Amino acid sequence: MFIRHETIEKNAILMLVLTLITISIGGIVEIIPNFTIETTIEPVKGVRPYSPLELMGRNIYIREGCYLCHSQQIRALKDEVERYGHYSLAAESQYDHPFQWGSKRIGPDLARVGGKYSNDWHYAHLIHPQALVPESLMPRYAFLAETPLETKILDKHLKANRTVGVPYTDEDIANAKKDLEAQANPEADTDFEATLKRYPKAIQVPGKPGEPTELDALVAYLQVLGTMADFSSVTPEQLNR
Amino acid sequence: MPTKIEKDAFSGRDTTGHEWDGLKELNTPLPKWWLWTFITTAVWAVIFCIFYPSVPGIHGYFKGVLGYSTRATVTADVAALAAQRSQVLDKIKDVPIAKVRQDPNLMAVANTAGRIAFANNCQPCHGAGGEGRPGYPALAADRWIWGGKLEDIQQTITYGIRSGHPEARQSQMLRFGVDGILKPEEIASVADFVSTLYGKAKPSPASAKGAAIFAENCVACHGDNGEGKREVGGPPLKGAVHLYGDTREAIIAQVTNPRMGVMPNWNARLDAATIKSLALYVHALGGGEN
């Protein structure tokens, strides 16, 4: 019924051919879908690349390992949609490199946390979570408020993202530092309007003028999560593919 | 290489027939149960691929004989849930909020819906029982900044406070210290006066000086005697709302460079019936006014 394993093991050419076939099948299954990846991204409007401040916040999110306790994917299940809102779309993480879907929920899902709480709340909560939610087992991140945000290679972060497919324009990269400062400081005499044009729905955070902290960046990132996609631009039928 | 399959005397199995420097190897094929399990899973995978969405193509993917879609399923599930709830929730939505309160059947549903929505959305700031936190007002106490009637609460939840929504409740305290409206020593005497309003300090010459400054700068929003003015969202100072602390230092800090909280407009996240239920729930926490 089957080719006896001796037959394969004793015939180098046959073994080579069969190995090649097996690896090819694996390769095809893994590689071919990448060529049609665009067909899996929904035509939802509004999803844009992260603003420089949000991008830096995202880096801190990754550095601190937030994904170990917080997921960023609302699954297409009734109870999840009830609690967290519209299920996550592929389009919503198309500019995430790497994506932050996570696989564990020790804390709540953060896919749509943007705008759910005030900026003040996020600051207070990240500095001392138990002051607001006594039963929380989240660690304190007070040090982020005292750590200046490293922006020396800010444009390189944007360029690196562009290399992997995020459509940052030359203008975006040239204005990266300005955009970051405008978003991190509502008091200063900066042109946040221009930043908003490049990055609609970006939320200004109350940082200290000229010295944005890592906490400012993280809050800006959290406040935009899940707010970009404009669900009125797609019908459920378009999504139910 | 000679191939001579022998029976191994010890295990009773065949050898592979090879011999390497006197070493012989037993021919041990995969156990039958393992092999058949493997074959079954492979066959199952093929069947699964026929019935469920699977193989990708150039223009999309093979959708499977059953036409199953997770997203279509969840859309239908959510719609079914909404239909099931709509019997009561639609009534809650359409009936004036005061009437809902008088109807025990509606109220039972509103209370449950409100409790769940509160735990999910309000608890992180206002506390599990609405007891409040520094910077976030208590809801279970009868100290209201914007009003504690059902309609007031509903309005606040719907549009939020300084949320950016055009209908949001809006109030702004001047930065008396930072913007140089009052001198630091004037602010200190105002703090001395304010402390007397809730018995933290006894009236003194300093507080008398503060009273005059208070009358000139603060009464427009906080009321003549610090009782608060709800129509402009001026928090009462007389009792104890004191979101940012009631020590002299805290008051000086607040007058110098005021902190002003933001509450999101929940109409962006919650439907009208849920907001109404929340208002009823919050109203019943202990501080509701009639």
A188-220 per-position pLDDT tens digit: 777 899 999 999 999 999 988 888 999 999 999
The answer to whether the CB of A124 falls within 8 A of the CB of A135 is: no
DSSP state of A107: S
Cross-strand pairs, B23: B20
Contact between A81 and B16 using a beta-carbon 8 Å cutoff: no
For chain B, the straight-line distance linking the first and the last C-alpha, in angstroms and rounded, comes to 101
| Among the partner residues B27, B56, B78, nearest to A81 by beta-carbon distance | B78
DSSP string, A71-92: -----SSHHHHHHH-SPP-GGG
| Among the partner residues B56, B60, B72, nearest to A32 by beta-carbon distance | B56
Please state, for a pLDDT cut of 70, what percent of chain A lies above it. 98
Contact between B135 and A124 using a beta-carbon 8 Å cutoff: yes
CATH code where residue B98 lies: 1.10.760.10
User: In sequence order, what are the residues at sequence separation of 6 or more whose Cβ sits closer than 8 angstroms to the Cβ of residue B188?
Assistant: B206, B210, B248, B252
pLDDT at B17: 79
Instruction: Give the phi and the psi of residue B263 in degrees, each rounded to 5.
Output: -115, 130
pLDDT at B217: 92
Instruction: Give the phi and the psi of residue B265 in degrees, each rounded to 5.
Output: -85, 115
pLDDT at B112: 93
Give the minimum alpha-carbon distance from A63 to chain B in angstroms, rounded to a whole number.
25
Residues B202 and B150 in one domain: no
CATH code where residue A178 lies: 1.10.760.10
Mean pLDDT of A118-146: 94
Contact between B81 and A236 using a beta-carbon 8 Å cutoff: no
pLDDT at B264: 94
pLDDT at B36: 96
Q: Within a domain: residue A41?
A: no
Q: Buried b / exposed e across B148-181, counting CB within 10 Å, b at 16+?
A: bbbebbbbbbbbbbbbebeebbebebeebbeeee
Domain that holds residue B158: 72-167+263-287
A149-188 per-position pLDDT tens digit: 999 999 999 999 999 999 999 999 999 999 999 999 887 7
B115-138 per-position pLDDT tens digit: 999 999 999 999 999 999 888 999
User: In sequence order, what are the residues at sequence separation of 6 or more whose Cβ sits closer than 8 angstroms to the Cβ of residue B29?
Assistant: A5, B35
Contact between A132 and B59 using a beta-carbon 8 Å cutoff: no
Q: How many pairs of residues across A and B have Cβ atoms under 8 Å apart?
A: 73
pLDDT at B149: 93
Name the band, by pLDDT with cuts 50, 70 and 90, for residue A241: low
Reduce the DSSP state of residue A190 to 3 states and report it. coil
A8, A30, A118: which to substitute to probe chain B, counting the most B Cβ within 10 Å? A118
pLDDT at B3: 66
Reduce the DSSP state of residue B24 to 3 states and report it. strand
At position B184, the amino acid (one-letter code) is P
Cβ-based burial of A69 (10 A; exposed 0-12, middle 13-18, buried ≥19): middle
**Among candidates B117, B179, B171, which has minimal Cα distance to B130?**
B117
Question: Which residue numbers in chain B have pLDDT < 70?
Answer: 1-3, 240-241
In total, how many domains does chain B have? 2
pLDDT at B267: 93
Q: Within a domain: residue B50?
A: no
Number of other residues whose CB lies within 10 A of the CB of residue B250: 15
Cross-strand pairs, B7: B14
Residues B76 and B142 in one domain: yes
Question: Would you tell me which residues 70-99 of chain A have a C-beta closer than 8 angstroms to some C-beta of chain B?
Answer: 76-78, 81-83, 85, 87
Contact between A118 and B264 using a beta-carbon 8 Å cutoff: yes
Residues A31 and A58 in one domain: no
Q: Within a domain: residue A75?
A: yes
Domain that holds residue A96: 52-239
Residues A112 and A218 in one domain: yes
Residues B76 and B161 in one domain: yes
B220 touches chain A (CB under 8 A): no
B208/B200 Cα distance (integer angstroms) = 15
Cross-strand pairs, B161: B169, B263
Q: Within a domain: residue B32?
A: no
What ipTM score was computed for the predicted complex, to two decimals?
0.80
Residues A119 and A211 in one domain: yes
Residues B143 and B279 in one domain: yes
At position B4, the amino acid (one-letter code) is K
B75 touches chain A (CB under 8 A): yes
In total, how many domains does chain A have? 2
Residues B227 and B278 in one domain: no
pLDDT at A3: 63
Contact between A76 and B74 using a beta-carbon 8 Å cutoff: yes
A109/B212 Cα distance (integer angstroms) = 52
Name the band, by pLDDT with cuts 50, 70 and 90, for residue A1: very low
B210/A118 Cα distance (integer angstroms) = 33
Contact between A116 and B259 using a beta-carbon 8 Å cutoff: no
